[in-house]
Amino acid sequence: MKTLTVNSRKGGAGKTTVSVSLAMAARQAGLKVVLADMDPLRSSSEILRSREEAASMLIEANAGKLWVLQEGCRRNGCDLLIIDTPTQPESDIVQCINHSDLILAVARPTFLDLAAVKETIALVQRTGAPGLVVLNQCPPMRSGEENPVVVEAIERLRFGQLPVAKSVLRSRIAYQHAFASNCGVTEWDAGSDAASDVLRLLAEISRHMLLPRPHRIGRVASVARKGKRRHGTSAVKAMQSALKRLVS
């Protein structure tokens, strides 16, 4: 079993968006996933608690129960535990980092977010754990070229001694529609650009963490991108159909 910690020291950066989106996409890819909501705001729980399978995939916990939680997940054959961390206290964040296989430091490409993410980078470096910086809520590309705001953010992070994920998540309304429907964006709209963003990030993380069949998970991004735009149940069926072919 692998443990993925998703952290941001600044509210609004989108760590819950990243946590929920990756968890639901990984489940669709055939992995057994548990999402641990350790943020006192319980935003991940707010999105997912009304789902029929919530009892088996969503746990509200705190850092003090992390070891017990990990042992329970291992005994139950879990492939991936994703932790949506609190922004404070630092001791809880450090405990999650110390028990993780990979840490995602989430930040928007803004001056204040980039300043705040340096705190997470410092914690990761202090513990020696592997990590990635994930840029979230990025503006769209312009005529096939990366937005200057994103280019500048990547340049500023280049000297932070923590790799920046090649896959970025962009600001898209699909996330709000998905969460309002108590699902991930890959379920709500299989053919959307938002779904493709998430799947590319999942494939990149899978390579870092050596998750089951990472090369096949990566192929789903191109399948989703080529699909027609769909909503609701048809989106779920379309994505599950594609994923079933790729991970079987």
Output 49 or 235, whichever has higher pLDDT.
49
Give the DSSP letter string of 168-226. --B--THHHHHHHTTS-HHHH-TTSHHHHHHHHHHHHHHHHHT-SSHHHHHHHHHHHHH
pTM of the predicted protein model: 0.85
Query: So what's the pLDDT on residue 148?
Result: 93
Tokens (6 digits) for 218: 């990566």
* Cis previous bond, 139, omega within 30: no
Per DSSP, helices labelled H in the chain are 15-28, 43-48, 54-57, 66-75, 90-98, 111-127, 148-157, 174-180, 185-188, 193-209, 214-226, 232-247
What is the CATH number that goes with domain 2-247? Answer: 3.40.50.300
In this predicted structure, the answer to whether residue 218 has a pLDDT above a threshold of 60 is no
Q: What is the pLDDT of residues 102-119, one digit of tens each?
A: 999 999 999 999 999 988
